[in-house]
Amino acid sequence: MVRGEKQNQALQTGSQFLFQSKRFMKVLVTGGVKSGKSRIAEQRSLELSQGEKAIYLATTEMIDSEMEARILVHKERRKDRFVTVEEPLNLHETIQQYSRTILIECLTMWMNNMLFHQKTEQLILREIERVLQLPNHTVFVLNEVGLGVIPDNPLARQFVDISGKVSQLIGAHADEVLFCVAGQTLRVK
- Residues tagged active-site: 74
Structural contact between residues 131 and 89, judged by C-beta atoms closer than 8 angstroms: no
Strand order in the sheet with 138-143: 82-86, 54-58, 102-105, 138-143, 26-31, 176-181, 184-187
Continuous H helices in the chain: 37-49, 65-78, 91-95, 107-116, 121-132, 154-173
